C-alpha cells in the first residue's frame, strides 16, 4: 500500500468503518451473485469496493466468512424460534417442518438458501459457518425452550434430516412434487422432527 | 479416427469388448483416485487405456456414468436387502441404520462412498445416478419386501435422512463421536427409518 486511500477523496470525509464494511458487502453480493462462490475473487470484490484486500480479512476473516455475511439469509431466527414454539411443544416438529418448506419453497427465499447450500458443499468452512448458524441461532434455542437433553446431538440429527430433505426435494428431485405435495411432506416428516426435538433418543 | 487400432497390434488379436471396457475402467479408477472427479479428464483416461475417447461415451455414456461404474461401490445390494429383511419387518429400520453405519464407518469402505458423495455434489448427473442406484437396488427392493405403499416417496425420505446423517457424522462433524457413538446413533435413527419404511405417512 503505497498510497493513502483518503488522498483520493480530497473533498470527502474519510469513510468510516461501517461504510467500508457496507461497501465490501455490497460488492461481494454482486460478485457472488454473478460468478458464484468459487468464481468470485476477493481481489475483484476489493477492487469494486475500492478497499485494500486486507480489509476483507480484517472485517470478515475469510472468503467463507464474507460469503456467509453477504448472503441475504431469508430466515429471521428469533421469529422462527417463536413461531415453532407457539402453541406448545407437542406440535413443534410439525411447525418446524412447515417453516422449513415455507422458506425452501418460494423461489425468492430458496435462492439464498441454495446459494449457501451449494457453497457449503464446495467449501467446508462455509458448511461449518452455515451449520453453526442454524444450530446456534435456530435449533439450540428451540431445544432450550423445550428443555431437551443432549441438545447438540438432537440439533445435529435435525439438521441432517432437514438438509437431506432440502436436497432431495429441491435439488435432486427424488422427492419432487410428483411424489408428494408440501402438506404430505409435513405429515411424513413432522413425527420425525418431533422425535428428534423431544422424544427419547435411546 | 484415421487409423485402425488393430493395425498397431499386428501380433495380438483385436481386443474384445469386455477387455476394452475393463481397460477404460482401470484407467478411470487410477485417474479419478489421483485427480478427483472434476480433475480427471476423459482424454487422459482414454490415452491411458489406449482407446479413442468416443469409446468411453459408447460404453459409459458420460463422465458421470464412467465415474459411477469405476467407483468400487462397497455395498452389495442383494445381500444388504436380505440382511435388512432378516428377522422380520419390525426391526428393519434398526438393521438399515446398522448397515449404513457399518459401511460409512470404516475408512476403506468410506473412501468410495465419500468419493461418490462428493462427486454427486459437484455434478448433478452423478447425484442422479448414485441416487437411482440406492433407490432402485437397495431401498425399493426393501420396500417391496415390506409391501409398503408410496414406495418412491418413502425411498426419497429414507435417502434424505441417510444422506444428511452421513454428511453430519462423517463430513461436517456436527454429529461427531463426541456427540454419540454408533449404538446411540442407531437408537436415535432406527425409529425414524422404521417410520419411513413401514409407518403411516399421513
B55 touching chain A per CB within 8 A? no
**pLDDT tens-digit series, residues B49-101:** 999 999 999 999 999 999 999 988 888 899 999 999 998 999 999 999 999 99
How much of chain A is in helix, strand and coil states, percent to nearest 5?
75, 0, 25
Return the pLDDT at B3.
46
A38 touching chain B per CB within 8 A? no
Indicate the pLDDT class of residue A6, thresholds 50, 70 and 90.
very low
Of residues A124, A126, A125, the one with CA closest to residue A113: A126
**pLDDT tens-digit series, residues B184-195:** 999 999 999 999
Return the pLDDT at B142.
98
DSSP letter string, A107-145? HHHHHHHHHHHHHHHH-HHHHHHHHHHIIIIIIHHHHHH
**pLDDT tens-digit series, residues A133-142:** 899 999 999 9
Identify the residue whose cell numbers are 467407483. B71
Return the residue of B nearest to A170 by Cα. Answer: B160
Say yes or no for a CB contact (<8 Å) between A195 and B191.
Answer: yes
Question: What integer best gives the mean pLDDT of chain A?
Answer: 90
Q: How far is A109 from chain B (nearest CA, A)?
A: 21
Q: How far apart are CA A179 and CA B67, in angstroms?
A: 28
Residue B71 DSSP class: S
* pLDDT of residue B13 exceeding 60: no
Return the pLDDT at B33.
87
Residues of chain B with C-beta less than 8 angstroms from the C-beta of A119 = none
Q: Among the listed ranges A9-13, B123-127, B165-169, B180-184, which one has the minimum average pLDDT value?
A: A9-13
**pLDDT tens-digit series, residues A10-42:** 455 556 788 999 999 999 999 998 998 888 999
Q: How far apart are CA B98 and CA B85, in angstroms?
A: 13
Return the residue of A nearest to B201 by Cα. Answer: A188
Q: Report the percent of chain A where pLDDT is more than 70.
A: 93
- With b for 16 or more beta-carbon neighbours within 10 A and e for fewer, the B47-62 pattern comes to eebebebebbeebbee
Q: How far apart are CA B103 and CA A110, in angstroms?
A: 33
Residues of chain A with C-beta less than 8 angstroms from the C-beta of B153 = 175, 179-180, 184, 188
* pLDDT of residue B179 exceeding 50: yes
* pLDDT of residue B6 exceeding 50: no
| Residues B149-157, mean pLDDT to the nearest whole number | 97
Q: How far apart are CA A154 and CA A134, in angstroms?
A: 13
Return the pLDDT at A10.
46
Indicate the pLDDT class of residue A157, thresholds 50, 70 and 90.
very high
Kindly tell me the sign of the dihedral angle through the C-alpha atoms of B60, B65, B71, B76: negative
Q: How far is B181 from chain A (nearest CA, A)?
A: 11
Q: How far apart are CA A151 and CA A140, in angstroms?
A: 6
Q: How far apart are CA A46 and CA A56, in angstroms?
A: 7
Q: Report the percent of chain A where pLDDT is more than 90.
A: 66
What is the model's pTM?
0.84
Amino acid at each position: 500500500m503505497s498510497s493513502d486511500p483518503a488522498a483520493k477523496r480530497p473533498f470527502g470525509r474519510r469513510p468510516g468503518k461501517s461504510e467500508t464494511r457496507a461497501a465490501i458487502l455490497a460488492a461481494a453480493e454482486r460478485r457472488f451473485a454473478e460468478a458464484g462462490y468459487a468464481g468470485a475473487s476477493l481481489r475483484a470484490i476489493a477492487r469494486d469496493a475500492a478497499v485494500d484486500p486486507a480489509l476483507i480479512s480484517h472485517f470478515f476473516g475469510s472468503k467463507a466468512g464474507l460469503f456467509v455475511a453477504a448472503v441475504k439469509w431469508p430466515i429471521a431466527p428469533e421469529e422462527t424460534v417463536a413461531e415453532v414454539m407457539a402453541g406448545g411443544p407437542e406440535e413443534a416438529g410439525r411447525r418446524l417442518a412447515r417453516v422449513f418448506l415455507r422458506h425452501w419453497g418460494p423461489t425468492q427465499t430458496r435462492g439464498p438458501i441454495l446459494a449457501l447450500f451449494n457453497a457449503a458443499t464446495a467449501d467446508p468452512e462455509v458448511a461449518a459457518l452455515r451449520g453453526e448458524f442454524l444450530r446456534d441461532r435456530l435449533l439450540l434455542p428451540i431445544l432450550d425452550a423445550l428443555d431437551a437433553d443432549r441438545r447438540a446431538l438432537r440439533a445435529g440429527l435435525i439438521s441432517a434430516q432437514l438438509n437431506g430433505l432440502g436436497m432431495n426435494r429441491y435439488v435432486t428431485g427424488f422427492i419432487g412434487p410428483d411424489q408428494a405435495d408440501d402438506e404430505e411432506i409435513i405429515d411424513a416428516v413432522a413425527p420425525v422432527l418431533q422425535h428428534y426435538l423431544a422424544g427419547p433418543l435411546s
